[in-house]
Amino acid sequence: MADSLTDSPDAAGPAVIAAAQKRAPAGPGVYRMFDADGEILYVGKARSIAKRIQSYTRLGGHTNRIARMIAETASMEFVSTATETEALLLEANMIKRLRPRFNVLLRDDKSFPYILITEDDEVPQMIKHRGARTRKGSYFGPFASAGAVNRTVNALQKAFLLGTCSPTVLPKGGRPCLNYQIKRCAGTCTGEIDLVAYRRLVADAKAVLSGRSRAVRTRIAEEMQAAAEALDFEKAALLRDRIGALSAIQSHQGINPRNVDEADVFALHAEGGRTCIQVFFFRAGHNWGNHAYFPKADSVIEPEEVLQSFIAQFYDNKPIPRLILTSHALPEEALIAEAFTQHAGRSIAVKRPQRGEKRDLVKHAAANAREALSRRLAESASQAKLLQGVAEAFGLEEPPRRIEVYDNSHISGSNAVGVMVVSGPNGFDKGQYRKFNIKNADIAAGDDYAMMREVMTRRFTRLLKEEADGGAGNDDADAIASRPDLLLIDGGKGQLNAVTGVLAELGVDDIAIVGVAKGFDRDAGRERFFIAGREPFRLEPRDPVLYYLQRLRDEAHRFAIGSHRARRKTAITKNPLDEIPGIGPTRKRALLMHFGSAKAVGRAGLADLEATPGISRQMAQHIYDFFH
């Protein structure tokens, strides 16, 4: 049940909350606080909402963070729940979705990769998988990164020769592919191994991923010994290599606990006003890697509260292991365990270990969190100096918090793509990168100025619309706001004038614009910089700021080239039959079988099209009209 209360614009802070408290539910639920512009400030949960928000009806006795939140509150909304555990889960979901300014916010919340051994093909494959588990097969993970998956897949390929090819590209007979030649595949597609033997290899791989590698290794060692005694040295050597590959899997995983079968380990370290949380994944007795997170949290919030909020948000869209180990005692440890048990449908334990192997795992994670935060702080300090240098070089009033770099890529105007790369105090922000497929058919081939004008028009028209709709205003000191402070344009005076003209037409006059032109012979280090109202200039060849600007330009160039190649590849492989309305897979297959290629279909006469099995006279006319 939801309820809302919006008070008059004159009401402020404690008065608004006091009025809201009179109508607040007495039972459990979630409350939301909004400012005068309707922006969400905070999401909280409580066993009794009315009692919880009573503490907000006065300004005294709070931290500066809470006092600011109370003072800015102009309205409140409530959602009642049946239990406090439901409130906790709903709170975590709302925080992730709404991203309130005064909550602890989890960043970089992408899904984790798994290893999938398929079961819907005659020949099972071993592939990397990310996302919903819709395909039939056995899933192993999660892994902390794609690199951890790739290392494990490569080791398993060496050990068990499992195929990773899609069934649609498997050759029928003939010579096996390169993977077979380098002993990374058993060659099932060309009959080098029968399916019964291959399925035994698949079973062994599943056993290893399920934590039974010791039994598999013992059996292989016995088979190797038997082969050697039978003087079958080729088979013995193959089995020896398999044992070596299994050892490699264990070695690259680092810590592999004896008594922890399935657990996630969370360790927090805070320093210099920043927080790092290191997460380690253990499944089937294997260490599947670790990942460092840097949540947005006010420095006055206690580490235990930060860790609890982080963990609640972390599992909002991820499977929960049977055991969660933490470096700090969570304020509501029992409630978290109960909520996760309810959410997962099985018993979940949340513990802060005090001794033994589990305590060692947490200490190891804490050491990694401390090292990761130290690196981040060092990088931030270096980045801050570079941004200060950029401000001095380009005459900015203060260091830029958001730099947008633009570049175009095309071949004689075909498959043209414009890109935007974003950087700021924390380095490149790849989640903010954007690509723009050039859509204007009137642009002459290779007209870089017109392409840049289209990109800028689309980018800033959308920005102005979002700001008008209230999507911009963000006081988060750590976040990079949507409006940039500096635009770097790959090009000289012409590109600079094109961009300046577009922004002037849109009424955007508070953003610095700099053109970066390559030097003579396109030598790095001899770049010229163009700013409206100033003569072109260069920076000293060994200036760290110049190196930084070169990295920005090179990253934009890399992203532009990659985006262009991806678009060109799509265009090359695109079948014109896919664009004809009413032509599905069956009719497309019939046409290709009859004519041999899509080009031949386009050249065919009406009578030939009518003669195609499964193509009616009306459909033949439809196809003919499409190509003519």
CATH number at residue 51: 3.40.1440.10
Give residues with Cβ within 8 angstroms of 118, minimum separation 6: 124, 125, 127, 135, 136, 137
Answer yes or no: are the C-beta atoms of 266 and 276 closer than 8 Å: no
Indicate whether 53 and 88 sit together in one domain. yes
Taking the C-alpha atoms of residue 488 and residue 496, their distance in angstroms, rounded to an integer, is 9
DSSP reduced 3-state for 118: strand
Indicate whether 314 and 444 sit together in one domain. no
For residue 74, pLDDT beyond 60: yes
Q: What is the pLDDT at residue 376?
A: 86
Buried/exposed 473-488: b ≥16 CB within 10 Å, e otherwise: eeeeebbbeebbbbbb
> Do the domain assignments include residue 296?
yes
Q: Please classify residue 307 by burial: count the beta carbons closer than 10 Å to its beta carbon, then call 0-12 exposed, 13-18 middle and 19+ buried.
A: buried
Indicate whether 73 and 128 sit together in one domain. no
Average pLDDT over residues 489-508: 91
DSSP reduced 3-state for 74: coil
Indicate whether 411 and 510 sit together in one domain. yes
Indicate whether 279 and 154 sit together in one domain. no
Indicate whether 143 and 246 sit together in one domain. yes
Give the count of domains, the chain.
5
Average pLDDT over residues 71-93: 92
> Do the domain assignments include residue 429?
yes
Q: What is the pLDDT at residue 252?
A: 54
Indicate whether 306 and 355 sit together in one domain. yes
Q: How many CA atoms lie within 13 A of 152 on its CB side?
A: 29
* Pairwise pLDDT comparison (602 vs 461), residue with the higher score: 461
Answer yes or no: are the C-beta atoms of 453 and 502 closer than 8 Å: yes
Q: What is the pLDDT at residue 210?
A: 81
Q: Where are the beta strands (DSSP E) in 486-578?
A: 486-490, 512-517, 528-530
Indicate whether 497 and 441 sit together in one domain. yes
Answer yes or no: are the C-beta atoms of 530 and 549 closer than 8 Å: no
Average pLDDT over residues 582-605: 79
Helix, strand, coil tally for the chain in percent (to 5): 45, 20, 35
Give residues with Cβ within 8 angstroms of 485, minimum separation 6: 396, 400, 401, 402, 403, 511, 512
Of 231, 252, 273, which residue sits at a domain end?
Answer: 252
Of 39, 72, 98, which residue sits at a domain end?
Answer: 98
Q: Band of the pLDDT at 470, cuts 50, 70, 90?
A: low
Indicate whether 608 and 533 sit together in one domain. no
> Do the domain assignments include residue 514?
yes
Indicate the DSSP class of residue 111. P
> Do the domain assignments include residue 519?
yes
AA identity, residue 402? R
Question: What is the tens place of the pLDDT at every residue in 306-346?
Answer: 999 999 999 988 889 999 999 999 999 999 999 999 988 99
For residue 116, pLDDT beyond 80: yes
For residue 216, pLDDT beyond 90: no
Mean pLDDT of the chain: 84
Q: What is the pLDDT at residue 285?
A: 78
Indicate whether 615 and 564 sit together in one domain. no
Per DSSP bridges, beta strands 434-437 and 486-490 are unpaired
Taking the C-alpha atoms of residue 147 and residue 529, their distance in angstroms, rounded to an integer, is 39
Answer yes or no: are the C-beta atoms of 179 and 185 closer than 8 Å: yes
> Do the domain assignments include residue 70?
yes
Percentage of the chain with pLDDT > 90? Answer: 33
For residue 257, pLDDT beyond 80: no
* Pairwise pLDDT comparison (31 vs 135), residue with the higher score: 31
Per DSSP bridges, beta strands 75-80 and 40-46 are unpaired
> Do the domain assignments include residue 444?
yes
Q: Please classify residue 97 by burial: count the beta carbons closer than 10 Å to its beta carbon, then call 0-12 exposed, 13-18 middle and 19+ buried.
A: exposed
Taking the C-alpha atoms of residue 229 and residue 216, their distance in angstroms, rounded to an integer, is 20
Q: Band of the pLDDT at 476, cuts 50, 70, 90?
A: very low
Q: Edge to edge, what strands does the sheet with 29-34 contain?
A: 2-6, 75-80, 29-34, 40-46
* Pairwise pLDDT comparison (499 vs 381), residue with the higher score: 499
Q: Provide the CATH number for the domain around residue 517.
A: 3.30.420.340
15-29, 153-167, 483-497, 514-528: least confident range: 514-528
Which pTM was predicted?
Answer: 0.70
Of 252, 274, 291, which residue sits at a domain end?
Answer: 252
Q: Where are the beta strands (DSSP E) in 427-560?
A: 427-428, 434-437, 486-490, 512-517, 528-530
Q: What is the pLDDT at residue 7?
A: 44
Average pLDDT over residues 117-142: 85
For residue 444, pLDDT beyond 60: yes
Indicate whether 567 and 587 sit together in one domain. no
Q: What is the pLDDT at residue 204?
A: 85
Q: What is the pLDDT at residue 256?
A: 63
> Do the domain assignments include residue 391?
no
Q: Which domain holds residue 154?
A: 114-252
Taking the C-alpha atoms of residue 253 and residue 234, their distance in angstroms, rounded to an integer, is 30
* Pairwise pLDDT comparison (161 vs 403), residue with the higher score: 403
Q: Provide the CATH number for the domain around residue 600.
A: 1.10.150.20
Indicate whether 124 and 180 sit together in one domain. yes
> Do the domain assignments include residue 517?
yes
